[in-house]
Structure 1
Amino acid sequence: MNLPARHRSGGMWERGFPWSEPIAAEFGDLFDRMNRFLETAAFPASLCEAAAWAPPADLHETDEAYRVECELPGIGREDIDVEVGEHEVSISGELRECEGQGVLRRRGRPTGKFEYRALLPVEVRSEEVTASLTDGVLTVTIPKARAAKPRHIEIQG
């Protein structure tokens, strides 16, 4: 004989979490502090310093070139290095920590070394690459190498 199943209504998932907003924020701070602790405890300082963050970027392709738009707010031209090889573009540098007053309670912006890399499927003309930094967005234009355009060949009979 089967017994009817009991369903509880108004469980935690249906009612939402019973925590108020300040307690939820404290949990977020606690998780951030635990992550920082675990990162420093698990890895030597030399390895942590070598780790780099990747800035948000878009890679566009046209018939003539590739264009990388990379968000780097607050970083000066002198702190950015752009390198282009036959099939790769690399944007790297360092965002230094701002000197602020008071005690930093929560960090929401990355600091330290950054690096963005992208593979390019065709050869490019690295000597014709241009880069500009406007309103915190770095735009790198990478012209493609001139490839032979396909053409129709008439077969002789």
Structure 2
Amino acid sequence: MNRFDPLREMDRLMSELRTTPTTASAMPMDLYRAGDHFVARVDLPGVDPGSIDIDVEDRTLTLRAERREQTDVEQWLSHERPAGTFARQLTLGYGVALDRIEADYTDGVLTLTFPVAEEAKPRKINVTHRGQQSIEGERVPEEAAAR
């Protein structure tokens, strides 16, 4: 005789509905400008900091991180946090100083700081002014000019 187990049935239904998360949902990101920097804040809770890998090649930044599957669980009742290796790419504009990008991982949030390149910063251009040049010569008295 098969007995109805509501937890097992719920787990079966959830397993059928479970899909692989998109990269954006697995690595949600905020991106903004703050003065002379662009800042990206990426949520990576539960990620081993040693697994975070960031590469820049040809103005494309690739971010990879791994959240390991928890293996000591006897039976999952709900399993919504994705595990595995996640990757995300950002295309960087020419206004970013690629050689000065910084990364910091604190409290499950990876903060990437992209300095604005010096050549992309707004700057004031001074205008020089040369006055009209006059030709100075000998002044001729009026009575001599009338002749």
Tell me which amino acid in the other structure corresponds to 1:63. Answer: G
Candidates 25, 29, 34, aligned match of 2:16: 34
Candidates 71, 75, 80, aligned match of 1:103: 75
1:124 counterpart SS class:
coil
Q: CA–CA distance in 2 between the matches of 1:86 and 1:63? A: 25
CA deviation profile, 1:25-72 (whole Å, cap 9, x unmatched) = 93x851x32245xx7xxxxxxxx8xx9733111111133111111111
* TM-score in terms of structure 2 length: 0.64
RMSD of aligned alpha carbons: 3.3
Give the superposition deviation at 1:106: 2.3
Runs of 4+ residues over 6 Å off in structure 1: none
Larger radius of gyration: 2
Q: CA–CA distance in 2 between the matches of 1:146 and 1:112? A: 39
Aligned to 1:64: 36
**For residues 62-141 of structure 1, what are the structure 2 equivalents within 5 Å?**
62-85=34-57, 87-141=59-113
How many residues are treated as equivalent by the alignment?
A: 121
Q: Is the 8 A contact 1:86 1:126 kept in 2?
A: no
Aligned to 1:53: 23
Candidates 107, 111, 118, aligned match of 1:146: 118
Q: Is the 8 A contact 2:23 2:86 kept in 1?
A: yes
Give the superposition deviation at 1:123: 3.2
Q: From the superposition, tell whether residues 154 and 53 of structure 1 become closer, same or farther in structure 2 (CA, over 3 Å).
A: closer
Q: From the superposition, tell whether residues 154 and 114 of structure 1 become closer, same or farther in structure 2 (CA, over 3 Å).
A: same
